Structure 1
Amino acid sequence: MSRRGKRAELPPADHRTEQPLGPDGLVVKVVNKAGYTKEFDFTALPVPEPMRRSLARLYAAQSRAWTSHETAKTCWSRVMTFATFLSELESTPEDLDGVTVAVLKRWRARHVSTVTGKAVLSTVRLLLQQDPRFASGPVTEELLRRFPAAKPSKQSYEGDERKRVVLAAQRQFRAAWLRISENTRLLRAWRAAELEEDSRDWRLGEVLDYLARTGDVPRSILPSGQPHVDHRNLLGGAGPEQTWGRLFLSREELTALAVLLTDRFAWNLKVYDRMSAPTTGPSVGEKTAITYQVQVEKHRAGRGRWFSTENITDLSADSPGRLITQALAATAHGRDLAARLAPGTDLLMVSRLYAPARAAHRHQDTERPRPVGPLSFGIAYNDAQRWSKAHGLGGSPFQRTRRTTVTREGAPRQHSQSTNERVYVLPDEHVQRASRSVFADGAEEALKQAEAAVFGGHLADAPDPAHEQTVTADCEDETTSPWPTPEGGCGADFMLCLACKNAYIHPGHHPRLALLHRQLESLRSVLDDGAWNEQWQDHSLRLEDLRDKVGDAVWDAALARADSDDHALVHLLVKGDLAP
């Protein structure tokens, strides 16, 4: 059964899956998830033809698992890098069986020192190891030789850096949201016939209705062939904010919204290209709250795990769902127009193109949805770069913003726990600096616990008449006990004598203490771990520390000398029947 409950149908009997490798063995076709095909011509590689055919065959076999042209282009560029390297050798191998250990060593040395180089090494190694000629032997061992993991090139933002990015996005998107909201209220009043006919607001509402239906305000063509905005005086100008921007976001404003969403939810930039408009679900116990169900596409999760649903609630102005509410309001007219122009289209991240005809003609990105009329969907990499440059931020903010949110929240977002720790948390310099005090406090606490679980007294060769005898040790001065009573004496039980600085142990104590240690270890087999650890673990560790100080041979010999009095006292100690 399919996901929607419709029984799956078998393909026609004559159906054949198109092979990625062309008949000539040199052209590979890769079909992405959207159904577009892109060809990669291996005749462009600067190596002999047998080598081209081998690399094309391996590339084609690998491409069967790809659903993205971005993945295909990345692998292609790295194969080209490898081929260029081979072509620059004193003697270029005719085929892969001519690649020697020395060649692979030089290849590794050229790339292993950089993050990008390690990525190239990893891709080419994965490709080559599929060839039977690299099944075993010294060349294979060199090919598979491990190299240090690449340190992430992007780090999370410092507090002030993040504030600067978020503030820039908030200012731009909020201004756009307020502009669209104000014009939307006027349009609704016009459609509800609430405005005085022929008044300024009524005439503006008429223009807004035209804009909502067509994606642009009325325009005339001048004798020179140039378009002219009608009602220029009524609109207050001919710029985007006075014309189509009254109901639609620009690409820069949509990018600002994406930055805010990434900062709030740590969504990947690619998510915005095909994110459906959130749907609403019931909010249990809340009449004023709105809970949105947002479908998030995880491109690298693998087949069958591409989508997950997040529930996000709008409770108040500071709640995460409020940004979703504002995003829906700011894109409402764009989504309505897209659904009319291309029925079935319901993508959240929609903006209005500055020059629709030119942009649609130039759209070559097979990974992102194609424009619909004057509308564009998602955020291109160039959009992120332009937005960053316009605000003086020096580089796309999305990777660093996502990393900042993930490390700030401390929990995985659209990825596994191991990826969260390995890729985001542990390599992040800001997390490392912030963790130093935590590690220091933990080390000090561990030291205190370790010190508390060792023998705290002194070893003596014989009893001292001035010391008071106890069940487990001789006490030098109970008035200076670490556990005093209100009356001034010692309030510790006899087991804690072994942790006291006033305790003295001489050979007469050894048989009883060795017997006590064996008895505590026997309790481990009849008590659950939690109960034994809580009641007996520290005492057992102190006895083990004492045994190490005395010596195993002396300790074992003393155990054999334990008499009936020792057995009786140990039995009472373990039962807790001996009061201090």
Structure 2
Amino acid sequence: MHHYNQLGRLKIYDFSRLPVSAAMQRSLAALFAARCSPHVWATHITSHSHWKYVVRFASFLSSLEEPPNDLQDLSAAVMKRWRVSLSGAPAGCNTLNGVGRLLRSDARLRSGPVAEELAVKVRPAKSTTQSYSGDEFERITVAARKMFRSALLRIEENGRHLDAWRGGVFAEESPEWVLGEGLEILSRTGALPHTVGRSGSRNLKKRYARAMGGTSAEATWQRLFLTRLEVTALAVLMLAEFGWNLSVISELEVPRATPDAGADGRPTYRITLRKGRRGPGHHHETRNVSDDGASSPGRLITQALSATRFARAAVEELAPGSNRLMVWRTGWLGPAATELDRHPHVGPFRFGVHNNEAQGWARANGFPHSPFRRGRRTVTAVDRREPAQHSQQTHDRDYVLTDDRIRQEAMGVIAAGAQDAADRAHRSVLVARLRDQPAAADTETATADCAAFHDSPYPAPGGGCGASFLMCLGCANARVHPGHHPRLVHLHQALTNLRSVLPSSRWEKDWRDAHDRLEDLKNKVGDGPWRQALDRVTDTDRDLIDLLLTGRLDS
């Protein structure tokens, strides 16, 4: 069985090795093959996990006194015995769910006693991962900030020297000029010129060794490029700032600044996030992040772009089109290990941060484990108390309700939260009426239809309605039908994205009520129709919401 991942790389699974009949091998292979697509199983990690589930299932079947010949020979008793055998076992829930998904996709098992047994819900094991204490997470972020800051200053200093060399500041063949020449070569190729000795050893040319002060990595290529540990420190800071998980950080494309930086010249970056675990059509999401100063989220993006600019330029020279942000250089110039789910290596350059790098960074800084799983729980569940790359249900079930620190801190805020929720329910719920279709007599607005434009609870001095279109959903005269859903879904996303950009006090004041009314609408419409409406958003809807949010529609 062949599985090509999202990078087009091949992994082969041999179902003839399974200890079951040839007919059962073929049936399991067919179910497995149906998911071996980059649009379903994007990585070999996923297919390999399911392969282990299938091997475990085949071993169970072979242990029976009368192993079934094919899938139609499975019985409810056998499947119940399979489920009981994994109760409490390590990875038992994952194995049951993985095999269950495969079996339920076979036409022979979609109804009947076996299908009913496969439909039995298995409670996942309670997560033992806990958030960090405030002091623990502070030590981690301080270590990361210290390491990345040092690397950034080093690269910026050498970048200034390179710019001066390119500008002809130094006398030709002076030590400063030779250093600049070496940096120029390094910036284009990722390496400095070497001579090869009789034994095959590689030796840095003496002119560059003298100018750079030695032949070590610190004296040579680290002048312009991040190391494995330094790019991991940057990833830790991104985790702390944005709450993204390690796979999302690893696959970040280079953020692009919007064409108009504004009157103050401060950029707003458009960041594309890839979320591989979501279903087809939902793998990508975009965020807008502004650099409004040293303490703003966008400042870290500006620094990341600066720290990786020479590595990204060298990669583009060697292999155009990579477009990855998290690029670092390795000191090992021998044959590269094949890692089928990672971006292909480009010369000495590597992409992303994976578990090996995370574990290495933790050991180098005196921490017992990779900080990413516990750190993400700390950021999303404790610090922000909102989901990052998962649903609200997953956030509540797997992050909030199982965390000891949150439970301990909850006692003092429950009463205040309940009162706040009650107050907000009175002023921020959806008041507009829901309709299946528009009425001819209604007047269309930017967010809804109005049944009594000249009898507004917010009259304008010259007659008509004087309220912002954002208030329509809070007005009893408003009517919302499915034709409005796409633009309202887009508005909901835009307001959610603004929350990550604006100071919390400003967002609460200007946008919270409108966001809450849209949340109420989403709950009334339902998740299915709401997601379907997202696929129907048009350019007109986007332009309209852009005008609304910038205030140009109400003026």
Normalising to structure 1: TM-score of the pair? 0.67
Instruction: Say what the alpha-carbon RMSD is for the aligned residues.
Output: 2.5
What residue is the counterpart of 1:242 in the other structure? 219
Q: Alpha-carbon deviation of 1:187?
A: 0.8
Asked whether the equivalents of residues 273 and 369 of structure 1 are also in contact (C-alpha less than 8 Å), the reply is no
Q: Please show how residues 8-157 of structure 1 align to structure 2 within 5 Å.
A: 28-64=1-37, 65-114=40-89, 116-157=91-132
AA aligned to 1:51 is M
Pairing partner for 1:412 from 368, 387, 390: 387
- Distance verdict in 2 for CA 1:272–1:441, change over 3 Å: closer
Q: Deviations over 1:469-519 (max 9, x none)?
A: xxxxxxxxxxxxxxxxxxxxxxxxxxxxxxxxxxxxxxxxxxxxxxxxxxx
1:368 and 2:324 are equivalent in the alignment: no
- Distance verdict in 2 for CA 1:69–1:444, change over 3 Å: closer
What residue is the counterpart of 2:277 in the other structure? 300
Asked whether the equivalents of residues 189 and 318 of structure 2 are also in contact (C-alpha less than 8 Å), the reply is no
Q: Deviations over 1:161-211 (max 9, x none)?
A: 212221221122111111111111111111111123443322211211121
What residue is the counterpart of 1:504 in the other structure? none
Separation in 1 of the partners of 2:339 and 2:56?
A: 24
- Distance verdict in 2 for CA 1:307–1:42, change over 3 Å: same
What residue is the counterpart of 2:289 in the other structure? 312
Separation in 2 of the partners of 1:441 and 1:347?
A: 44
Q: Alpha-carbon deviation of 1:340?
A: 1.2
Q: Please show how residues 549-568 of structure 1 align to structure 2 within 5 Å.
A: none
The higher radius of gyration belongs to 1
Q: Secondary structure at the match of 1:437?
A: coil
- Distance verdict in 2 for CA 1:44–1:138, change over 3 Å: same
Asked whether the equivalents of residues 239 and 245 of structure 2 are also in contact (C-alpha less than 8 Å), the reply is yes
Asked whether the equivalents of residues 112 and 121 of structure 1 are also in contact (C-alpha less than 8 Å), the reply is no
AA aligned to 1:424 is Y
Aligned residues: 417
Separation in 1 of the partners of 2:193 and 2:418?
A: 71
Q: Deviations over 1:300-329 (max 9, x none)?
A: 222222222211111221111111111111
Q: Alpha-carbon deviation of 1:239?
A: 1.9
Q: Please show how residues 172-251 of structure 1 align to structure 2 within 5 Å.
A: 172-230=147-205, 231-251=208-228
AA aligned to 1:400 is R
Q: Alpha-carbon deviation of 1:91?
A: 4.0
What residue is the counterpart of 1:519 in the other structure? none
Separation in 2 of the partners of 1:392 and 1:309?
A: 35
Q: Deviations over 1:521-578 (max 9, x none)?
A: xxxxxxx9xxxxxxxxxxxxxxxxxxxxxxxxxxxxxxxxxxxxxxxxxxxxxxxxxx
Q: Deviations over 1:281-309 (max 9, x none)?
A: 25676514221111111212222222222
Q: Alpha-carbon deviation of 1:330?
A: 0.8
Separation in 2 of the partners of 1:237 and 1:411?
A: 50
Asked whether the equivalents of residues 288 and 315 of structure 1 are also in contact (C-alpha less than 8 Å), the reply is no
Aligned-pair identity in percent equals 43
1:342 and 2:319 are equivalent in the alignment: yes
Q: Alpha-carbon deviation of 1:115?
A: 6.2
Name the stretch that deviates more: 171-180 or 286-295.
Answer: 286-295
Q: Deviations over 1:57-94 (max 9, x none)?
A: 22223435333322211111111111122223344333
- Distance verdict in 2 for CA 1:249–1:284, change over 3 Å: closer
AA aligned to 1:352 is R
Pairing partner for 1:378 from 335, 349, 352: 352
Separation in 1 of the partners of 2:181 and 2:380?
A: 46
Name the stretch that deviates more: 321-330 or 376-385.
Answer: 376-385
- Distance verdict in 2 for CA 1:395–1:233, change over 3 Å: same
Separation in 2 of the partners of 1:212 and 1:268?
A: 30
Pairing partner for 2:370 from 384, 396, 401: 396
Separation in 1 of the partners of 2:417 and 2:153?
A: 49
- Distance verdict in 2 for CA 1:313–1:442, change over 3 Å: closer
Asked whether the equivalents of residues 115 and 150 of structure 1 are also in contact (C-alpha less than 8 Å), the reply is no
Q: Secondary structure at the match of 2:406?
A: helix
- Distance verdict in 2 for CA 1:329–1:108, change over 3 Å: same
What residue is the counterpart of 2:499 in the other structure? none
- Distance verdict in 2 for CA 1:142–1:398, change over 3 Å: same
Q: Alpha-carbon deviation of 1:50?
A: 2.1
Q: Secondary structure at the match of 1:245?
A: helix
Separation in 1 of the partners of 2:394 and 2:351?
A: 29
Q: Secondary structure at the match of 1:346?
A: coil
Q: Alpha-carbon deviation of 1:133?
A: 3.8
Q: Secondary structure at the match of 1:295?
A: strand
Separation in 2 of the partners of 1:122 and 1:134?
A: 15
Asked whether the equivalents of residues 261 and 267 of structure 2 are also in contact (C-alpha less than 8 Å), the reply is no
- Distance verdict in 2 for CA 1:257–1:143, change over 3 Å: same
Q: Secondary structure at the match of 1:358?
A: coil
Pairing partner for 2:408 from 416, 430, 433: 433
Q: Secondary structure at the match of 2:34?
A: helix
Q: Deviations over 1:252-291 (max 9, x none)?
A: 2111111111111122222234322111125676514221
Q: Secondary structure at the match of 2:269?
A: strand
- Distance verdict in 2 for CA 1:284–1:212, change over 3 Å: closer
Asked whether the equivalents of residues 145 and 233 of structure 2 are also in contact (C-alpha less than 8 Å), the reply is yes
What residue is the counterpart of 2:439 in the other structure? none
1:253 and 2:230 are equivalent in the alignment: yes
- Distance verdict in 2 for CA 1:445–1:224, change over 3 Å: closer
Q: Secondary structure at the match of 1:167?
A: helix
Name the stretch that deviates more: 283-292 or 191-200.
Answer: 283-292
What residue is the counterpart of 2:264 in the other structure? 287
Asked whether the equivalents of residues 30 and 63 of structure 1 are also in contact (C-alpha less than 8 Å), the reply is yes
